[in-house]
Chains A and B, each alone.
Chain A
Amino acid sequence: MYAVETQNLTKRYGKTQALKGLDFKVDLKEIMVLLGPNGSGKTTLLHILATILKASEGTAKVMDYDVAKQPTKVRQILGISFQEARGFWRHKPADILRFHAAVCGVPKSKRDSTIEEILKDLELWEARNKLFMHLSGGQAKRLEVSKLLIQRPQLAIFDEPSSQVDLRGKRKIWEKILKLREEGSTILIATNEVREAEYLADRVTILDQGKSIVCDVVKNLKDEITGGDIVELELEPGPNNTSFQEELKQIPGTVSLVAADENRCKAHVSIAEAWVPKMTNLCSERRARLISVRVTEPSLDDVFLHFTGKALEAPKNA
């Protein structure tokens, strides 16, 4: 049995096709991350699984329950944390969580203590009696995530769980999600944040334009990229940098080279230890001056670039 299984799942909004015959599986008790840019169909998929949207074609099952035929059963074992927490303007966080816990069947004896624990862990305790409309974006997002941490469903779906949250808050949310999995939940996360995916994923499915491009464990996805290392170079501005970058492509061991601009480039190389000395020799021959050299492993952004031909995240210095 799979926690989630879809076959030929298709969703159309008028002429727009958000999902195009998606075949997708999530194993029990794993953390599956859906990685894709905005508009790739991630949220649509999550909403179909949560029985909020109806598929145009195909089937989707959660723990063997068909989402179209047994929606109430599905909702009893699944919980979803939405991309944006909205619509509770005049309620207080503590009230929202109490209501959610009660409706989702959290035993009365455990409700208050669990809510207190989660609110404190996610630094919302001080804000528990504020009206929702007075919470900051980050607080509202943490509150949204809290609902699932209290509910502890068999399948927990998080749509961009740490967007709008500061780095410290992100870490806390990620730790809580990992703990939720340890306690036995299957986790499905949609995100376009590479760091979040790398931190949490057992497996990653790359979605692009409503299709699953590839699905595997993070290490295998990175190994798929020919050229195990990435070398990022920054050159001192000079008139010949563009032609120098062309020459770098000819160095043995260079798999590919992508220029960010005339002074910066990223080279996929087979072995960085062998490639970097050749590159520095070429630098001295051509009198090109290096500002920085950084050797890294491929990130999921590189994986995304490799499989889709486009970057998931905008260049940091762009």
Chain B
Amino acid sequence: MRNVIRLVWFDLKQELRPPVWIVMQWVTFTIQLAIYGALISQLVTGVSNYQQFYAIGFVVMMTFDMGSHTGRHFVEHAHEGRLPYLLSLPIPRSKLFLSIALQGGVELALMISVPLAIALTLIGNLSVISIAAAIATLFCLGFGVAGVMLGLSFIAFKSADLYTAITVGLSSIIIRFSTVLYPFIFLPPGYAAAAFFSPLTYGADLVRFFLGFDTSMLLNPTYSVAVLTALAVSTLGLGALLLQRLVEGVKSA
């Protein structure tokens, strides 16, 4: 386990030297919420406080981005020639995978810490348990998305362009066809059917459920818990299996 922590810390130092990109994410969130969120909430009538709804949606989108980043990061390792080095270290593949997942988790925690604190302050009047449950949901979603992206990253070993096209396309669809920015009950039937396939729908609705949003606008929380848990476990399991069995460094001659 010591080597897993060493690996996570070693990688994090590189990622956070300097931590500009994380700070920029916080700034973007703050500006977006203060200007766009505040103005758009004046126009939206169906939701009692759309700025709060939007704030949580934005945090969920950031969680999704961070999960994608973890998958992309793995691909970059391979293309920068770092993966062969990691694969040659005396660390079992399962622990190597764990370190990738943990690093993603730590980066996720860092990235959403400030936005989530702002969103929670905006909502106010929350219990520790509801906050903890919301955070757990975000992590579950983050790991699930990271698992999907890690699974897809194996495409990148064949073609980096194909991987980029798939992940960008997938990201656009998964975010738009979800309840991140609009409640499920307001979605037209076609959109609602598509939203059922987006993990962000379950993540966003479950976080809102724990934070006391109007339950009539949200999906059944039991259903969301089941979907998110299944997603995180299955995709991370798949990623670990692929790393264990399939991954090879770089083609060499």
Contact residues of A with B, CB < 8 Å?
13, 18, 38-41, 43-44, 47, 50-54, 71-72, 75-76, 78-80, 82, 84, 86-91, 95, 99, 102-105
Q: How far is the CA of A105 from the CA of B2 in the complex (A)?
A: 11
Min CB distance B2 to A, Å, is: 8
**Inter-subunit contact B6/A99 (CB<8 Å):** yes
Can you spell out 10 A-B residue pairs with CB atoms less than 8 angstroms apart?
A39-B253, A75-B88, A78-B88, A86-B80, A86-B81, A87-B81, A87-B83, A90-B13, A90-B14, A103-B91
* Chain B residues, CB < 8 A from A90: 13-14, 17
Min CB distance B94 to A, Å, is: 10
Q: How far is the CA of A14 from the CA of B90 in the complex (A)?
A: 29
**Inter-subunit contact A105/B81 (CB<8 Å):** no
Q: How far is the CA of A40 from the CA of B93 in the complex (A)?
A: 29
Q: How far is the CA of A52 from the CA of B87 in the complex (A)?
A: 6
* Chain A residues, CB < 8 A from B77: 87
Q: Is B92 an interface residue (CB 8 A)?
A: yes
Residue of A nearest to B86 (CB): A87
Q: How far is the CA of A95 from the CA of B12 in the complex (A)?
A: 13
* Chain B residues, CB < 8 A from A75: 88-91
Q: Which one of B6, B80, B85 has the greatest number of beta carbons of chain A within 10 Å?
A: B85
* Chain A residues, CB < 8 A from B82: 86-88
**Inter-subunit contact A102/B252 (CB<8 Å):** no
Specify which of B13, B90, B248, B251 is in contact with A72 (CB 8 Å cutoff).
B90
Min CB distance B49 to A, Å, is: 42
* Chain B residues, CB < 8 A from A89: 14, 80
**Inter-subunit contact B14/A91 (CB<8 Å):** yes
**Inter-subunit contact B80/A103 (CB<8 Å):** no
**Inter-subunit contact A84/B90 (CB<8 Å):** no
Q: How far is the CA of A40 from the CA of B13 in the complex (A)?
A: 38
**Inter-subunit contact B252/A87 (CB<8 Å):** no
Residue of B nearest to A100 (CB): B89
**Inter-subunit contact A43/B248 (CB<8 Å):** no
Q: Is B197 an interface residue (CB 8 A)?
A: no
**Inter-subunit contact A47/B14 (CB<8 Å):** no
**Inter-subunit contact B6/A18 (CB<8 Å):** no
* Chain A residues, CB < 8 A from B91: 72, 75, 103
Interface residues of B in 199-213 (CB under 8 A from A): none
Q: Is B221 an interface residue (CB 8 A)?
A: no
* Chain A residues, CB < 8 A from B249: 47, 52-53
Residue of B nearest to A77 (CB): B90
Min CB distance B73 to A, Å, is: 12
Residue of A nearest to B10 (CB): A99
Interface residues of B in 77-118 (CB under 8 A from A): 77, 80-85, 87-93
Specify which of B87, B88, B92, B253 is in contact with A44 (CB 8 Å cutoff).
B253
* Chain A residues, CB < 8 A from B93: 71
Q: Which one of B84, B90, B249 has the greatest number of beta carbons of chain A within 10 Å?
A: B90
Residue of A nearest to B91 (CB): A103
Number of interface residues of B (CB under 8 A): 26
Residue of A nearest to B92 (CB): A72
9 closest A-B pairs (Cβ-Cβ)? A87-B82, A86-B81, A43-B252, A52-B249, A87-B80, A75-B90, A76-B90, A39-B253, A52-B87
Residue of A nearest to B94 (CB): A72
Q: How far is the CA of A91 from the CA of B251 in the complex (A)?
A: 25
Q: Is B3 an interface residue (CB 8 A)?
A: yes
**Inter-subunit contact A104/B89 (CB<8 Å):** yes
**Inter-subunit contact B85/A82 (CB<8 Å):** yes
* Chain A residues, CB < 8 A from B84: 47, 52, 82
**Inter-subunit contact A95/B13 (CB<8 Å):** yes
Min CB distance A307 to B, Å, is: 20
Q: Is B225 an interface residue (CB 8 A)?
A: no
* Chain A residues, CB < 8 A from B81: 82, 84, 86-87
**Inter-subunit contact A80/B253 (CB<8 Å):** no
Residue of B nearest to A87 (CB): B82
**Inter-subunit contact B88/A54 (CB<8 Å):** no
Mark interface residues in B26-69 (1 if CB within 8 Å of A CB, else 0).
Answer: 00000000000000000000000000000000000000000000
**Inter-subunit contact B88/A80 (CB<8 Å):** yes
Q: How far is the CA of A50 from the CA of B92 in the complex (A)?
A: 13
* Chain A residues, CB < 8 A from B251: 13
Q: Which one of B14, B17, B88, B249 has the greatest number of beta carbons of chain A within 10 Å?
A: B88
**Inter-subunit contact A103/B253 (CB<8 Å):** no
Specify which of A40, A53, A99 is in contact with B248 (CB 8 Å cutoff).
A53
Q: How far is the CA of A50 from the CA of B80 in the complex (A)?
A: 19
8 extra interface residue pairs, beta carbon distance < 8 Å, beyond A13-B251, A104-B89: A52-B84, A53-B252, A84-B81, A87-B85, A88-B82, A95-B13, A99-B10, A102-B3
* Chain A residues, CB < 8 A from B85: 82, 87
Residue of B nearest to A132 (CB): B14
Specify which of B17, B87, B253 is in contact with A51 (CB 8 Å cutoff).
B87
